Amino acid sequence: MEIPRLNVAVVGAAIGGASVALLLARAGASVALFERVAHPRAIGAGIALAPNGLAVLRGLDLEPALRDRGRPLSSPRIVGDVGRTLLAPLLPRRGDGLDQLLVIRRSDLHRVLLEAATEHERIALHLGVEITDATADASIRARHDVDDTWRSFDLVVGADGVRSSVREHLDVGARVRGSGITYVRTLTTVTEAEGVEAWTRAGIFGSLPLPNGAYLYASSGSPALRAALAARDLDALRRAWEAAYPPAGRLLGGVARFEDLLLNEVVRVDCERFVDGRVALLGDAAHAMAPNLGQGANSALVDAAVLLGALRDADDVASALVSYDARRRPAVRWVQNQSDRLGRISERSDAAWRTLRDRLLMPALSRFAPDPSLRTYQEPLDALLDMSAPGQSSDVLR
């Protein structure tokens, strides 16, 4: 397909939307990027970019700018509440920078992507524009102030998140489920992040290093934690975590106000199809998942690369989207399911289960389980580099 002939609308200018807009524009498409927020800012505190997400960002030539703002993490670990290593996830052995995580403030990642999109001559950025309807023939209705107009495109990409307005107008068999689990995320000025995720009797507590601080995330499994969150009491939250996992108290000491905490319920989105006609869903709009494998935003970046590869290799948009759906849906469904399973293993707080898990189950998993990294990353890293590089063929999709 001749991508320079395509006129594409991308709805949602967060990580997935901005990335797919950049990939398509660099391949020659004309892209209208719509964002309902007039002054967008990233929500989520921090993010750990995995090798698959980094491969796509490398293809976009954004990796150097991101590394200037982030901190690499070469040996992430999951530990018990007394510090014993339960699992050390395997990273690729490459020696090219795609053998580590890159921890970065989500606002920095979003800023780099949005600035690149703003500067690209083939991307028209429309801020403060709400998409109120979408049809399978790649038409969308856009509302700006009092105007409400229909526009037609060759392809529409819905990258507008868990509560996607594009998805709700498509025939994709969507199911949205809340988990009842709330996560707390924040940034702290304390610089002694441990680079580990601790599975404690109160839930999960993670601390990842950033330049001049740390990214913290935690679940809220204990009654004391839930009470502190309900009361919006930062001191009570700090004390509850310190009692369950002492390093958490020190790390939370760098948080100034309760308002600096971001609270999110874990939501899962399942779709029977990621496409309807000439409309494709991407990222959380298609497959929101639990955070336990750290693959939410990384999977959206993989979506963007695979979509571009499918368009390069197909004769028309409709057949490209069929290929995209067939490749992405089973791969990301496996990651969603594994994230759910890992969440159930990590969140149970009864003492007998934790002893069994920490002393028997996790050591056995570390010793005998096959390396899950390929399935977690969903695509070979070299294939992602190929799909994301400008002007490359994507025969790997065939």
Q: What is the DSSP string of 260-321?
A: G-EEEEEEEEEES-SEETTEEE-THHHH---GGGS-HHHHHHHHHHHHHHHHHHSSSHHHHH
Residue 238 lies in a domain: no
How many CB atoms are closer than 10 A to CB 166? 27
> 44 lies in a domain?
yes
The C-alpha atoms of residue 287 and residue 299 are separated, in whole angstroms, by 9
CB-CB contact of 111 with 40 (8 Å): no
Q: Is the pTM of this model over 0.75?
A: yes
pLDDT tens for residues 293-309? 999 999 999 999 999 99
Structural domain boundaries, residue 67: 3-72+103-177+268-347+370-389
Do 194 and 46 contact (CB within 8 A), yes or no? Answer: no
- At residue 3, the pLDDT reads 95
Percent helix, strand and coil across the chain, each to the nearest 5: 40, 25, 30
Q: What percent of the chain has pLDDT over 90?
A: 75
Q: Is the distance from CB of 340 to CB of 290 less than 8 angstroms?
A: yes
Among 119-128, 154-163, 343-352, whose mean pLDDT is lowest? 343-352
In this prediction, residues 221-230 reach a mean pLDDT of 92
Would you say residue 320 has pLDDT above 50?
Answer: yes
Scan for tokens 């949602």, then name that residue.
12
Is residue 24 assigned to a domain? yes
pLDDT digits over 29-84, tens only?
999 999 999 888 767 799 999 999 999 999 999 999 999 999 999 988 899 888 88
In the chain, how many domains are there? 1
Distance CA 2, CA 24 (A): 11
Q: How many other CB atoms are there within 10 angstroms of residue 105's CB atom? A: 20
Each as own residue / partner, the long-range contacts of residues 313-316 (CB below 8 Å, 24 or more positions apart, any chain) are 313/1, 313/393, 313/394, 313/395, 313/397, 313/398, 314/1, 315/1, 316/1
CATH code for the domain in which residue 57 is found = 3.50.50.60
Most confident of the following: 177-186, 318-327, 372-381: 318-327
